[in-house]
Amino acid sequence: MEIRVVERESDQLRLEFPRGEETLLIPLVEALQQEEKVVEARYFLGHPSLDRPSLYLRTKGEKPQQLLKRVLKDLADSYGDLLQDFDKQADKIKA
């Protein structure tokens, strides 16, 4: 996945994602908004044919890149646990 950094400052980060990857932004922004050091986290879809989906993140007291990496890791761990739980339950289901 090609993610472009559009803007990066000490407390702000704006990223663009490839078209078709906007479903990733919904749980990511929800997780970011739960963080204490996040001042603002939102996504923009724009025009479906002309614009790339983008993520805007503004933080207080932590670099946005570090916070984003931590939240992404937490999400990956959560979804990995969900996959393991599903695998365990799927083995019990008789087809």
Assess contact for 4 and 21: CB atoms under 8 A.
no
CB-hemisphere CA count at 13 Å for 39?
10
- Which SS3 state, helix, strand or coil, does residue 13 take? strand
67: containing domain: 4-92
Give the strand pairing for 4-8 and 12-16. Answer: antiparallel
pLDDT in tens, the chain (95 residues): 788 999 999 999 999 988 877 788 999 999 999 999 999 999 999 888 888 999 999 999 999 999 999 999 999 888 887 777 777 777 777 65
* Nearest residue to 59 via CA among 91, 12, 8, 14: 12
Question: Tell me, what's the pLDDT at 95?
Answer: 54
pLDDT for the residue numbered 68: 95
Count: domains in the chain: 1
For residue 22, the domain's CATH number is 3.30.1360.10
